[in-house]
Amino acid sequence: MKEVILCKYGEVILKGANRSDFEAKMLKQLRQRARRVGNFNVFYSQSTVYVVPQDEESCEKIDEMMYQAKHVFGFVGVSKAITCEKNMDVILETVKNHIPERIKGAKTFKVESKRSDKRFPLKSPEISNLVGGAILSCVPKIKVDVHNPDVIVRVEIREHEAFIHAGQEKGAGGIPYGSSGRGLLLLSGGIDSPVAGFMMAKRGVQLEAIHFESYPYTSERAKEKVLSLAKILTNYTMRMRVHVVSLTEIQELLRDNCEEEYFTLLLRRYMMAISLKIAKDYDCEAIITGESLGQVASQTMKAINVTNALADIPVYRPLIGMDKEEIISISRKIGAYETSVLPYEDCCTVFTPRHPRTRPELDKVIEQEQRLDFNRLVEEAYKSKETIVVKCFGDNKTEE
């Protein structure tokens, strides 16, 4: 008798002929995490992935492994289960010994049974009835509710043993990371861009990231804040490259040569041009931003179109129709909010115009842009690139 982890599929189960490719990615990523935590056997059977500790030390790390399993995209439910002999008396004894603690605080419950081994003498409804009776006999005041229970107790009769678990926790959902190509995330120090990265990673996009700094107008702390946000995202992605690019010269030249109301629009066009170069260097098929329509002056429809005019690959904006409260809710869920609100400035706060253009005309923006050598400045900023590899396990490393 020991604890194991059961990981349940989500939409991957609906895939057709290429389902095995999705499953292979999920298993590979789960095994990579398991090797970092301890000695676990990870295997698949009947739309469930099992994570089984192989020694006493790994048994003690079951909670840490549970945390890792919940961050693998593709699994919608993760639970700790007790294994026992496929004998009804043993199953009922195990239920009485272990389930009361796991359903503490619940007022109602139901039992769901699955008899994968059809040689087992009792059918699923009979198993559920007996297990429900055992729970009622040892948990005071709890009641059965088959429609909307506080907790579901599950009994699975598999080929070699029985699994008993309660209180399944939510997994990351989505589809396996890396199954939908590669995208370059514009990662600022704010709330929105980490959420945009999470949402695209959840849809299988492998993330690269670019961050723009304006030292000495922005501090080393601001850069470290962004790397901390990238580290939070690697709870889901395992690793991510962050390309840090200096915009200091560009911003100073914009300040000295262009009309103030166009500063932000011009800066965002430079950011887009630099991002496109890096995207192509790292085989990214799209740019990802945290823009939400109308949230700030540079995110009006006309302003976004001015930036988009430079792009020759898709620009994905997963937050485009969301309000701030919705974005904050996801930020809290992924553990990024407290870091995102740390009061360290980013490049977008440098030389902010007092009255920015909200309905810009592209030809007038280009007219301002031509006051500077656009291509040369893009190349010079690109050459300032510093690439840092951020990992879920281990320290950050600067890539040569």
Query: Which pLDDT tens digit goes with each residue over 35-85?
Result: 999 999 999 887 789 999 999 999 999 999 999 999 999 999 999 999 999
Angle at 219 (CA atoms; ends 213, 220), nearest 5 degrees = 90
The 10s digit of each residue's pLDDT in 270-319 is 999 999 999 999 999 999 999 999 888 888 999 999 999 999 999 999 99
The fraction of the chain above a pLDDT of 90, given in percent, is: 84
pLDDT number for residue 250: 95
- The one-letter amino acid at 280: K
What homologous superfamily does CATH list for 182-399? Answer: HUPs (3.40.50.620)
pLDDT number for residue 314: 97
Closest-CA residue to 50 (of 9, 21, 106): 9
- Class in CATH terms, 3-170: alpha beta
Q: Is 46 exposed, middle or buried (0-12, 13-18, 19+ CB in 10 A)?
A: exposed
Question: Stretch 227-251: mean pLDDT, rounded?
Answer: 96
Q: Is 302 exposed, middle or buried (0-12, 13-18, 19+ CB in 10 A)?
A: middle
* pLDDT(133) > 90: yes
d(CA 82, CA 85): 10
pLDDT number for residue 392: 94
Question: Stretch 168-197: mean pLDDT, rounded?
Answer: 96
Q: Answer yes or no: are the C-beta atoms of 216 and 252 closer than 8 Å.
A: no
pLDDT number for residue 6: 95
pLDDT number for residue 181: 96
- The one-letter amino acid at 287: I
Round the average pLDDT of the chain to a whole number and report it: 94
pLDDT number for residue 2: 87
* pLDDT(105) > 80: yes
Delimit the domains of the chain by residue range: 3-170, 182-399
Confidence tier at 124 by pLDDT (50, 70, 90):
very high
pLDDT number for residue 348: 72
pLDDT number for residue 160: 85
The 10s digit of each residue's pLDDT in 327-359 is 999 999 999 999 999 988 777 777 777 778 888
Confidence tier at 128 by pLDDT (50, 70, 90):
very high
Distances in whole angstroms, Cα of residue 31 to Cα of each of 42, 44, 46: 6, 12, 18
* pLDDT(244) > 90: yes
pLDDT number for residue 48: 87
